[in-house]
Amino acid sequence: MSKDHNAQKTCWNCPALELRGHVDFRACGQSMRKFMTEGQAMAECKRRPELGLFDPASLTFEECPEWEEGPYGYQLRDMRVLILGIDGYLGWTLALWLGSLGFRVAGVDNFNRRRWVAEEGSHSVVPIAPMEERLRAAKEVLGIEISFREFDILDNEKLRQFIQEFQPEAIVHYAECPSAPYSMVDFQHAAYVQHNNVIGTLGLLFAMRDLAPEASLIKLGTMGEYGTPLTGRPIFEGIFPADAVLQWDGREWSLGGELTPRDPVSFYHVSKVQDTFNVYESCKYWWLRSYDVMQGVIYGVHTEQVAADPRLRTRFDVDEWFGTVINRFVAQAVVGIPLTIYGSGGQTRGFLALRDAMQCMTRLILSPPEPGQYDVVNQISGVYRVRELAETVARIAADEFGLEVEIQRLENPRVEADEHPYEVVYEKLPQQLGFEPQVTLEEEVYQMLKLLIQPSIRSRIEAIRQVILPKTRWSGLHKEMDVIERYKVRPRRVVGLGAEGGGEDDPER
Ligand SMILES: NC(=O)c1ccc[n+]([C@@H]2O[C@H](COP(=O)([O-])OP(=O)(O)OC[C@H]3O[C@@H](n4cnc5c(N)ncnc54)[C@H](O)[C@@H]3O)[C@@H](O)[C@H]2O)c1
C-alpha cells in the first residue's frame, strides 16, 4: 500500500507549525502559501522549539524526526485526533482504528444517535455496549486509552474547554444527524436536523479559530450534496478544475477554483451544503484548513478492531430512517423481507466499505491541508445502481447461505430521478493520497451476512421488522409504499467467494 503520499509535504502542512510575522492577505479558500514569495513566511515549531525561526518550506515530513513511517504514510508521533461523534457507526470504528495505529484519540458524543433510533422503536441490530464498557474493552483488548466526554457540541463552552484541554492536531467532525428521511418527517424534524448540524459546525469553526487554528478539520459532507445532474456533466471534487470553462452569450470565463453547484436531495443534505459554505468561509477568513469529505454511502460491519471483541462492535442500523442501503438489503435478506428498491432502482450512487473509509480518513489526517486551504475529496471506491446492489446481495445470500431472496420494487417515497447519468470524479484520494481500496463489495456483503445470520442478531432484526420498510415520504405523508413488482434473481456464484462466477445479470421477473 502506498506510504509515500505525504513524504514531501512540508511544515506548511504540519499542525505543529506556528507562523510568525505579519500576514494580511486573504484569498478565497486558497492556501496561504500561494501568496507568499519564498522566505517571506517564517515559522516556529511547537514540537521542536529548538529549531527557532525557520522557513516552513525547508523541512519535509520525511526529514522531520517527529514524522515517522507508518502503514499509511508518514505519521506525526502521538498525533492528537479529536473525534466528534465518537459513539456513532463511523466514529467508534475510527477511534479504535486510529488508536491501534498509535494516535492519541479523544472523543465527544451526547448519544443523540441512540435516542433517534429509539424514537422510531428501533435499535442497532448488532448489539453495542454502553460507552463506559466500550472504553474499558478498548483498553483491555486493544490497549487503547480513549479520552471521552459526554456533551452536546452545541454547548460551545464545553466544546471550547475540551479543545483547550486536549489541544487537537486534527479534528474529525462526524457529529451530525445523518438521515435524509428523518429530516423529511415534519417541520420539527427538519428544523432539528438543520439546527443540530449547521449550528454545531458553526460553533466548532469559531472554537477552532480561537483555540486550534493549526488543527486540520476533516468535515464530513456527503455525495448527496451534489445531487445527480441530469445533463450528465461530471461531478467534480467540490471545486472546478483549472481548465473548466463557462461559455455564455458568445463569451467565455474560467471556472477554475470556484465551488461547483450543489443540488441537495433532502433537508438533511441541505444542512451539509450550508456546512460546506460555512467551512469554506472560515478557511477564507481565518486561515483554517479543511478537507470537506463528500463521502459516499458506507456499507459493512468489519474492521479488525471492532471484530476483536463483542463489546467493541460498532452500531449497525437497518431501519427506514437510519439504515443505509446495502446494510438494509443484507438485513432484509436474513429475515426474508424482499429487498426493497425504489422506483426502477436505477439510482446510481458512490459507495465505500467501512474498512476502506477508515483508510481514507487516516490518509486525510496524515496529509493536512495548508493554512487557509479548503479542499474537497469525493470519498468513494465504486459506483453502483441500487438494483445491481440488490441483485448482488440476493445472489450472495442465495449461493453462500442458502437464503431464498426476492427483490421488490416499491413506489419511490423520495423526490429523485431513478434513472440518470452519473459521472463522478474521484481522483484525489487514490492519486494524491495513496488510497487503495482493500475490500470488494462481494467480500463485505459476505462478511455482513455471516454476522447477521447469527441467531442472536437475526432475532434482533426480527424484533424491529415493522420499522424496516419505508413509510416516510418526501410529500409529508406517512404511509407504506405500494409494491410495483416482485422478482427473484437467478443464482450465479460470485467470483472470489469460492465460486465459479460469470454470466449476465438475468433477473427472473
Ligand atoms: N454512514 C454513511 O453512510 C455516511 C455517508 C456519508 C456521510 N456520512 C456522514 O458521516 C458522519 C458520521 O456518520 P455515521 O453514519 O457514523 O452517523 P452516526 O449517527 O452513527 O454518528 C454520528 C454521531 O454523532 C453524535 N452526535 C450528533 N449530533 C451531536 C451533537 N450535537 N453533539 C454531540 N454528538 C452528536 C451522534 O450521537 C452519533 O453518535 C455524519 O456526519 C454523516 O452525515 C455518513
Average pLDDT across each block of 10 residues of the chain; the chain has 509 residues. List them in order.
90 92 55 67 93 93 98 98 99 99 98 98 98 98 98 98 98 99 98 98 98 98 97 97 96 96 98 98 96 98 98 98 98 98 97 98 98 97 98 97 97 96 98 98 98 98 98 95 93 55 38
Q: β-strands 73-76, 67-70: how paired?
A: antiparallel
Q: Rounded to the nearest whole angstrom, what is the distance from the C-alpha of residue 197 to the centroid of ligand 1?
A: 10
Distance CA 323, CA 270 (A): 19
- If you measure from the C-alpha of residue 1 to the centroid of ligand 1, how many angstroms do you get, rounded to a whole number? 28
Cβ(299)–Cβ(351) under 8 Å? yes
pLDDT score of 35 = 64
**Burial letters 28-65, b for 16+ CB under 10 A, else e:** ebbbbbeebeeeebebbbebeeeeeeeebeebbbeebe
The answer to whether 200 and 159 are in contact (CB under 8 A) is no
pLDDT of residue 494: 56
Residue 500 Cα to ligand 1 middle (Å): 39
Measure 432 CA to ligand 1 centroid, in angstroms.
Answer: 26
Helix (H, G, I), strand (E, B) or coil at 148: strand
Helices (H), 378-488: 386-401, 441-452, 455-463
Choose among 300, 318, 334: nearest CA to 443.
Answer: 300
Residue in 218, 112, 184, 180 with CA at minimum distance from that of residue 349: 180
**Domain segments of the chain: what residues?**
1-76, 78-498
Any idea which residues carry the catalytic annotation?
222, 268, 272
Rounded (5°) CA angle 7-12-17: 110
Q: What one-character DSSP code corresponds to residue 52?
A: -
Q: In the prediction, which pLDDT does 503 show?
A: 37
**Residues at CB less than 6 angstroms from ligand 1:** 85, 87-91, 108-113, 152-154, 174-178, 196, 200, 220, 222, 295, 297-298, 324
Count of C-beta atoms within a 10 Å radius of residue 139: 13
Domain 78-498 homologous superfamily, CATH: NAD(P)-binding Rossmann-like Domain (3.40.50.720)
Question: Could you give the angle at which helices 441-452 and 325-335 cross, rounded to 10 degrees?
Answer: 40
* Residue the block writes with cell 406517512: 478
> Which residue, by CA, sits nearest to atom 34 of ligand 1?
109
CA distance 255 to 107: 39
Q: Which cell goes with 392? A: 448482488
What's the pLDDT at 182? 98
Residue closest by Cα to atom 18 of ligand 1: 88
Among 92, 111, 112, 313, residue to substitute to test ligand 1 (most atoms within 8 Å of Cβ): 112
